[in-house]
Each structure stands twice: as C-alpha cells, then as structure tokens.
Chain A
Amino acid sequence: MRFFKKTNIDFLKLRKIMYLSSTAVIVAGLISLAIKGIDLGIDFRGGTELVLSFTAKPEVSQVRAALGAVGLGQSEIKFFGAEGDLLIRTAEQGEGMVVGDKIKQAIEQAFPDRKFEVLKEDKIGPKIGEELRKDALYAVAASFLVILAYIAVRFRFIYGVGAVVALFHDVLVALGVLSLLDGVIPTLNLEISQEVVAAFLTLVGISVNDTVVIFDRIRENLKIYRSLSLMEVINRSLNDTLSRTIITQGTVLLVLFTLFFAGGEVTRGFAFTLTVGTIAGTYSSVYIASAIVLDWTIRKQKRKEVNP
C-alpha cells in the first residue's frame, strides 16, 4: 500500500501566504493569552489542591457552603473527569498541610454520611511555584539553544535558525490553542501542569525531528542536483520525504489519540498539547524552517549580485 506515488508539489510557492497565516494564528493565540490568559495549574501557582472521590456526590454549592464555613468559600470547586471526582483548589497554603486538613474536616462534618476517598492531595509553596515557572522557561530556552548549536554544526547556521524559529512557532501555536480552547470543551482540562510542560519539551523534540529529516534530504539533494536552484532542490526534498512525513507523523498522532482517549485523566492534557504541537510541527518544518532557509539564502545571493 502507498498513499503517494511520486509527487511533484510546489510547496514553497505558497510560502508567503503561509507566513501570513502563521502570523495570524500566532497573533490570535497571543491575543487570547493576553486577554484570557492561561490556566496555570497548582504546580505553578502554589496553593492547596485536593481530589476527592465520593460514592454519593454532593452538589458543588453544598461543598462551597461547607468550605465557606471555614473561610475557604473562594476556593475553586468542580467535578471533573469521567468519574466525576471532586476537585478543590485554593491559593491558601498555611503552615504544613493545615489547609488540606481544614478542607477534609469541613467536608467530613458537612456530609457525615457520605464517604469519600482522598485520591490526591497537593500543597505547593509559593516559592516552589515560582521556581517551577522559571525552570520551565529555562528548560524551553535551553533546548532551543542546544538544538540551534547542533543543527548549526551538522548543517549550516541558517538551518539552525530556521529550525528554532519553527520551534518558536510550534510552542506559540500550542500555547495559543491551549488558551483559546481552555474551558470551551467541558471535560477537557487544559491547565498547565508539570506534565504539560513536559509535553512542550517533547513537542520541541518531535517537531525538530521532522525538520531534521527534511534538512537531511536537502543536504543530500544539494550534492546530487547541482544544476537545480535551491527552491527546486528544497521542493524536491519535501516531495521525497512527503510520504515518510505523513506516515511518521500519522503514527505519532495515532499513538497520541490512544493516549488521549485511553491514557486516563492525568495524561490527557499532555496528549492534547502534543497533538496540537505535532500538527504545528509538521506544518512548520515545511513552511517555516525550510522556507526561512530558502528566503534567507535568496536574500544573501541578491545582496551579492547588487554589490559583487
């Protein structure tokens, strides 16, 4: 079976339009980030979070009333996931685990005949939250630098730049989509947890993987087709690798879908972020990374022609 016979698509003809549409998507995401913001999870905000599983569920308003009695009425209270577990989150921390204990006691008193089980109880200090935020940014920045350096050495500097700009694009698109869709789909919890940050870094890995395969083909074809223009060579390389791109990214997406649907609550946000990132990464390998290499080289040649 094969999806494509030999193709000869002029991918790069459309690159100017694609620059515009990429910018539009990113700007939309940034606007959403600025206005709506992003749902930072407990890991990055600090506070206390409990997940309780009830046999007989109380109403959110009842829970709120019970917590209000101990001065925690402002807490975020919601049922989530397939099982409908109760999540209670507050920015309060207090000494040790007092806040968590207070919440549990309040609920025990309010619903003496409803048994519940503590599935998860987290308390994160404010300093830890801030540090994790910082670490996450450092990690993404460090991965960009490492990739820039490696590709610059193995290929050329401009290839490294193209790859990293493409990565910026992917991360921004994924962030934007997370912000835009947050709260839109009721059962989908899109808050930024440590797992989602891991997804961002993995996204970087998968996306650059795809870019490098295309670059590798360009490197090879440049040696074979010396008479062709760079645009023709890149186009040819994109066509050569098209089949592989579709299949590999397809299997990765297939796997991510299974993780999304069968992997459970904790990895759902992770799988979603990676799915968006993988799609963005496949696109950006062509229309950002390769396109930048092309446009940059064309500009340099023009400059040479103007002042030889």
Chain B
Amino acid sequence: MRKQLSKVILIIAAVLLSLVFLYPTYQDYQYRKKLSALAGQDSIAYLEQHEDDILNAKLKRLKLGLDLQGGMRVVLEVDVIQMLEDVAKNKDDNFRTIISELRSGATTTDESVIPVLGKKFQDRGIRLSRYYGSIRESDATIVGELTNETEKAIDRAIEVVRNRVDQYRVSEPTIQKQGGRRIIVELPGVKDEREVRSLLQGTAKLEFKLLRDADISYKVMKSVDDYLSGKVEEDTSAAAKTLKKEQKPKDALEELLSGTKPAETDTSREARFTREHPFFSYVLPDQQNTGEGFVEEKNRDRVIRLLARPELQRLYPIDFEFLWSAKPEPLADGKQYYRLYAVKRRAELTGGVIVDARASVSQEDNRPIVNMEMNSEGSREWARITGANVGKRIAIALDNAIFSAPVVINKIVGGRSQITGLDSPNEARLLEIVLRAGALPAPLAIVEQRTVGPSLGEDSVQSGVSATLYAFVLTVLFMILYYRSAGIVADFALFFNILFILGVLAGFQGTLTLPGIAGVILTIGLAVDANVLINERIREELQGGKTMRAAIDAGYSKAFSAIFDSNITTFLTAIVLYQFGTGPVQGFALTLMIGIVASMFSAILITRVIFNTMTDRNMPPNFG
C-alpha cells in the first residue's frame, strides 16, 4: 500500500478535481429545478438570495453546443466586390461591366478578387488609378492598397458585429475570425432569427454626440432614483400597479431585474439602501464630476431594464438620452464597470463625413493618438460644432455604444482632428477601426447559416444521454460477465473515465456537442480496450503458471506498448480531425482526445492500484 501511496493520491486528486469542475453544472441544474418549482414571490426571494451563486454556476457549468441548446450559427464574409464598388470613384459603364463580370465569376472560384480585377482592367487598357487611389499611383501599388484595405475591412466588420452582439445581450455569444475574410458568429438560444440577421448585416451607424453637462446628468439620475424609490408618487403608482399585474408571476427573474422592491422583511442596511435608492445602488456617479455613472458589469442588464421603462422618458429633459460605453473597464476595486453617459439624443455629425482615420503615436510625448480626417462638408460642420463647444465633450458612438468621449480643446478648422489622451495603442487601434467603420462600411454577406430549433436540441440531448447510458450499462455488464471481478475493476475505470472527460470539458470551458456525446460513447467502447489487452495478457501469464502478483506485473508491462502505440495513432487522427473540422466535428474530436488520455490514465493506473490492493489484502482478483 505504501508504495502505491503517490498513485492513490494522484487518482484521488484527479477525481476531486473533476468533481470540483463539474459541481457548478450540478448547481446550475439544481437552481433551475428549484426556480421552476417555486412560484412568484418565493422564487424572487430565492433568486435575490442566491444571485451571485446562480450567476457563477451558470458561468462555469458545462456548456452545451448550439446543436444541443438550439440557436444560430452564422458565417459572414466580407463582400469584397461590393466593397470595391463602394470605394471606387468616377464609376462609369466600363467600371460597372467589369464589376458585374467579377460578380458572376466569383460565386464559383475562391481566387482572390482584387488581382482578377486588376487583370480585367489591364486587359482593357484602363488604368486602375482612374477609379482608385491617386493618379500617379501604379496599378501594382493600388492592388496592394486595395488588398490591404480588404484585410482591414474584416477587422472593422468584426468590431461592428461584436459591438452589436454585445448590445443585443445574447448570453455566451462567440465571435471568431476565420481565415482572411470570414466571421463566425454563434448565438445560443436565439429565437428571432430575422432580427439577428438584420443586426449582423445592417450598415454601421457612427455618430458624434455631445455630452450633456454633468449637473444635468446628475439631476436626471437623481430624479430617476427618486421616481424608482417611490418618492414621487403622483398618479404613477396606479400605472405601476397595472404594469405589475401584467407580469407573469412565474417570470421571477424578469420581475427581479425590472427593479421591483425586495421583500420588506429584509432589514439589513444594504437592502434598505437598495430600497431607498434603487438606481444609485447600481449606478455609481463618477466622483470626478464628469456626469458619468459607473455600473458594474453584472448589474448592466438590470440597469438597462430599469431605464427601459417608458414612463421614465417624462423625467428626461428634451434631447436627452443615456448611452453606454461599448466595453467595460476595470476600476480601482478590480471589478469591470461600464460607463453610463448622458448625451444629446440628436447627433451633431454622422460618420459618413470621415475620409480617413489612423492610429499613430504623438511626436511630442510618444503617447498613442488617432488622427481623423473629414471631407470638406464635414470639416465646415466640424469647425462650427467644435467652435461652439470648446471645453465640452463629444462622444464617438458606433451603433449607440460609446467608444470614446474626448474633450474639445479648441475649434478645429480644416477637418483634421487629433484624439489624444488614449490609454494604450490598442485603444487607439480600436478607435481607428470604429471611426473608419462609419465611413467605409464593410459589406457582409451571409455565406452559411444554421439554425437549430430548441426542441430539436432537447430531443438530441435526451437521445444522446440515453444512448450513453445504454452503451455504458451494456459494456459494464459484458465486462463483468466475461472477466468476473477483474471486469468490475475495469468498469470502475470506465466510470471514472467518463467523469474525467466531463470534468476536463467543464474545467477547460469546452463545449459539449451532439457529436461530442458520440465521442464519449465511442470512448466507452475504446476505453475498455486497454483493460481487455491487460486482462488477456494476465490470463496468458496465469496460464503460463505465474503467481497472481507476477502475472499482474507482467500483464501490465507487456500490454503497455500495445496500449501506448494504438492510442497514440488514434489520438493523432483525432488531432487531424480537430484541425480540419468545424463546429460540432471539433467537439467530437475534442472529447475523443480527452477520452483517449483519460482512458490511458484510468485503465492503466486506477485498475493497477485496485488489483495490487486486492492481492495485498489476500483477495486476489478473478480474471474469469
């Protein structure tokens, strides 16, 4: 036993770790069950009490793929031809013919469009500079520039899509760049596909909006707070009551998030503050008197719902709205906060006037800056706006999310502006992308879309789980029948193997897909292979007249090379599968890889320890 101590510790650690990883999944399941069982006020109170735990469990649970929980997967591609058409100048009939030729050719070939475009122009003896770039530039330079521009377009498109998906507030979306010009967007649980489609494809709206003065902003916040706490009763309480009646009592989460007062019995100070200041308990006004409010990331949805109440509009001055910062940022307490800005509803200027924007470094102090250039019409407007608002702040909003709100230092004439005071080169690059997104839209085409309805997903989960159970039970029974007590030991290993696979998947934030479940089932079949190899060897050695102890030792050491080599080759094919596959197929490859490693661990190490312990205690295993 002593010799095995380190192994036993290793096994116990692995099992514990898997359980720790899987615990949030179990918790999440329990919370859901409880919440659907409780009704009305009870469930609100329950939710309120366990809010952090529930969110935490949801975040860390084993994630299900789109095919299991339903949702949408969209692959978008930057429509390069559309873009070439958009950015060209002096478009004439010649140009249009070439573009339409390009378009009919491009649906079938995967060749890069721009060199083909260059060639088509050359064939007709037309210089590219007639439509693109400046007159003195050679065709080769322009082709290079256009190619460069396409690559930047994909980054802009990703930023636009990410920004919108963030605001649409889908839970757990994934947005990935694939190859040179594709974006994969996965939106689990999304139902309204038409809305999502327009969300992904519509043109980006870049606006410059003036910030409201800090004191106005605070005054509005204060009156919102007063109103929500019920201090300003008037005739609104009746309205609030009817509003409440319409709510389904079952929908506890909704009610909680809409800011209903917590149960009166709660007397702690914090709860009283929440009750008296339903707005300020989630929105922290900026101490530096900028008029901004800070909202912790987890409270953002709640505040959005609070502000969405239609009757609040009456509290706002004319031409006023709250907008959010596009991304959260860490404050001193280490938590992520969104900023809430008060801006004028009417935009001063829209992004169409921007000709160019470039991230750069200031020559004076080496700080990151962004240079922005506007066309002549925009420049005139810009001079007027900046001239009238020196010392005030203008927010740069893309699709109503604010990326930056610089202060106007002086009147800007000529259309060349410089944005300074940025924290990092990354921030500057992001701002460049955002500023260009308004001017040079990156037209996106949907090249692939898959929608899985929620009921299909549920069916798949059910059949997947039952198939796994059947496969497991059948294999377990067979092993016991064939190998007796040695079979039971192998079954133990098999059980832990499945536990490890799920634990590793949950721990590494993997996603379980339907093919992934197939991978688990297949691993059940493959995992016993190691034990079959070992047990067959031990039987042979026993027949050769060895003692139990010696036969076990020999069996394990002789079977090892076969187990190792055969598992490595299977593992290698799984890697290839992961490399070439997409989405669900990758899920399969992943579970297969984890399964192979886990099965080597459980089939070799765990069974060995059990066999050794059994022989040590004079209860030699029976190999049938």
Contacts and interface: CB of A to CB of B under 8 A. Distances in A.
A interface, over-half SS? helix
Given A119-B453, A143-B576, A216-B561, A209 B569 contact: yes
Q: Which bucket holds chain A's interface residue count? A: 35 or more
A215 B569 CA distance: 13
Given A126-B108, A264-B467, A198 B525 contact: no
Interface stretch (A14-22, A57-65, A131-139, A290-298): A131-139
Contacts of B483: 1
Nearest to B483: A1
B270 interface: no
Interface string A151-194: 10010000000000000000000000000000000000000001
Contact of A146 (B452, B572, B589): B572
Contacts of B67: 266
A24 interface: no
A195 B532 CA distance: 29
A122 B449 contact: yes
Given A131-B110, A255-B521, A256-B525, A118 B573 contact: no
A270 B453 contact: no
Given A194-B581, A209-B567, A263-B463, A143 B518 contact: no
B592 interface: yes
B197 to A, nearest CB: 6
B216 to A, nearest CB: 43
A263 B464 contact: yes
B558 A97 contact: no
A201 B573 contact: yes
Interface stretch (B357-365, B385-393, B471-479): B471-479
B450 interface: yes
B566 interface: yes
26 contacts: A1-B481, A96-B446, A97-B193, A121-B450, A123-B446, A132-B582, A195-B584, A197-B581, A198-B585, A202-B522, A202-B573, A204-B573, A205-B574, A208-B573, A212-B566, A216-B561, A248-B529, A254-B471, A254-B478, A255-B471, A256-B522, A256-B525, A258-B471, A258-B521, A263-B467, A267-B464
Interface of B: 67, 75, 77, 107-108, 110, 193-194, 197, 201, 445-453, 455-456, 459-460, 462-464, 466-467, 470-471, 474-475, 478-479, 481-484, 514-515, 517-518, 521-522, 524-526, 528-529, 532-533, 536, 539-540, 558, 561-562, 565-570, 572-577, 579-585, 588-589, 592, 624
Interface of A: 1-2, 51, 53, 95-97, 101, 117-128, 130-132, 135-136, 138-139, 142-143, 146-147, 150-151, 154, 194-195, 197-198, 201-202, 204-206, 208-210, 212-213, 215-217, 219-220, 240, 243-244, 247-248, 250-252, 254-256, 258-259, 262-264, 266-267, 270-271, 274
Given A119-B456, A259-B467, 18 more contacts: A1-B483, A51-B456, A96-B445, A117-B453, A123-B449, A126-B107, A143-B572, A198-B515, A206-B526, A240-B540, A244-B532, A248-B529, A254-B471, A255-B474, A256-B525, A262-B470, A264-B459, A270-B518
